[in-house]
Amino acid sequence: MYASGNLELADQATAELLEYWESRILSHADAEEDGFYQEVAEKNPNLEETVLQLKRDHELMRIMVKNVHQMRETGGFSKDILHKLYALLEINAIHSQEEERLLF
């Protein structure tokens, strides 16, 4: 839809994606930090540093989502937003792999 030049549609899709990120991915991250990560660190103090690193991944994703919101509000849809959304997906994919590799 971006390639076809429909910026309004792309902006709407961005809004829906941000909503998805907040309601699913970021709220899942909040829940992990309030429960699972704390349990892991309590049971295995060696993993405290790892948990901190994984929390930083979450924080990066929160910051990126917030930045995309601001970009949308100030300038509407742009290629830069698309790049950030791709980067967000990549960070989340790496984060999930690392969670799997280090905590399970």
Question: Under the rule (CB under 5 A), what is the footprint of Fe ion?
Answer: 32
Among all residues, whose Cβ is closest to Fe ion? Answer: 32
Query: By C-beta, is 16 or 34 nearer to Fe ion?
Result: 34
Closest CB 65 distance from Fe ion, rounded Å: 14
Closest CB 103 distance from Fe ion, rounded Å: 9
Q: What is the DSSP string of 65-93?
A: HHHHHHHHHHH-S-HHHHHHHHHHHHHHH
Query: By C-beta, is 32 or 77 nearer to Fe ion?
Result: 32
Q: Where are the alpha helices (DSSP H) in 1-104?
A: 7-20, 27-34, 36-43, 48-75, 79-103
Query: By C-beta, is 7 or 102 nearer to Fe ion?
Result: 102
Closest CB 76 distance from Fe ion, rounded Å: 31
Contacts 24+ apart (CB under 8 A), 49-53: 50/102, 50/103, 53/98
Closest CB 99 distance from Fe ion, rounded Å: 5
